[in-house]
Amino acid sequence: MKARYGQSGLTLIEMLVVLSIVVLLFSLGLPVVRVFFNSFQSQSSGKSMVSSALATARALAAKNQRYAGIRFQKAYNPNGPLEASQYMVFIVHEEPAKMGGLTIGFRAVQGLKPIKLPDMMGVMDLKYNPDLPGSPGDGIVDSDIEINNLSVLGDTTTFSIVFSPSGKLVIHDVRVRNRDGVYQPANPAESADDIFNSQENVVNHNVGMFIQDDYEALGLAKEVSRNSFIIYDRNNFKQAYTKGRAWSDYLVKLTSEQTYINPYTGTIISSD
């Protein structure tokens, strides 16, 4: 008589239970994994976009033999700067006679469309314009003012990087205006610039994507260009912003993540 050996393995019911658990765990973890990879891809692709834009701006400066660069700015959004998309706009210095007498006037480069940054990524300089009403004057964003004053938030996410005609990164006074050089045009007939325009034209007439540098109360006025910036995760940014005092800790963390630009090559040299 042959002995019967015990059979090992799972029954059909046990297999179904195991599969159900695996599916459940996977479904719970998938959103987290997706957010992680989306964030990584946005940061990575965003840095590549910024690097390419810097190279293009440097080439424009050398080719046209005039100051040129990139303007980081959020497009107008009626829901405020927290919800607004941020862009890179190629800008070039213009003759004072064409800019309402401004010696530091810049305009958008015609024929080059603004480049939208990934939705999950933002860029800021963590500095504000000292002429902004209510600013303390030490050159660094104050966390309490930042929380209570969205114009300061708009200011720190609006800044320029400028190259000289020789292609060298420089610190230069910048005031961006519409291509017609009109100070706060009252209607589209005064300036039909579809990139930079007055608050009136952008908000009420849908002419222009970005409000020009003629509004100190909005944090938009004359400002020196930058040689570094900070790349941040917009979701984390919003969460910290809405949690009050957590904002201060978040700002401190961001200051250690400064990204610098090589002044001679225009390439990113540090992002940690």
pLDDT band at 101 (very low <50, low <70, confident <90, very high): very high
The residue to which tokens 């009136």 are assigned = 200
- What was the pLDDT predicted at 63? 93
pLDDT band at 178 (very low <50, low <70, confident <90, very high): very high
Question: What value does the mean pLDDT of the chain take?
Answer: 81
Q: Is the pLDDT of residue 37 over 90?
A: no
d(CA 206, CA 215): 18
Burial of 7 (0-12, 13-18, 19+ CB in 10 A): exposed
Sheet holding 228-233, edge to edge: 121-124, 228-233, 258-261, 268-270
Instruction: Measure the CA angle with vertex 12, ends 8 and 14; round to 5°.
Output: 75
Instruction: Measure the CA angle with vertex 151, ends 136 and 54; round to 5°.
Output: 100
Q: Please state, for a pLDDT cut of 90, what percent of the chain lies above it.
A: 51
Residue 262 and residue 170 in contact, taking contact as beta carbons nearer than 8 Å:
no
Q: Is the pLDDT of residue 266 over 70?
A: yes
Q: Is the pLDDT of residue 143 over 70?
A: no
Q: Is the pLDDT of residue 147 over 50?
A: no
Whole-prediction pTM: 0.78
pLDDT band at 136 (very low <50, low <70, confident <90, very high): very low
Q: Is the pLDDT of residue 177 over 50?
A: yes
d(CA 89, CA 195): 9
Q: Is the pLDDT of residue 2 over 80?
A: no
- What was the pLDDT predicted at 56? 94
Single out the residue of 42, 78, 45, 74 nearest to residue 235, CA to CA. Answer: 42
- What was the pLDDT predicted at 239? 80
One-letter identity of residue 41: Q
Instruction: Measure the CA angle with vertex 160, ends 267 and 193; round to 5°.
Output: 125
- What was the pLDDT predicted at 262? 92
The residue to which tokens 């020009």 are assigned = 212
pLDDT band at 269 (very low <50, low <70, confident <90, very high): confident
- N residues, the chain: 272
Q: Is the pLDDT of residue 94 over 70?
A: yes
- What was the pLDDT predicted at 10? 58
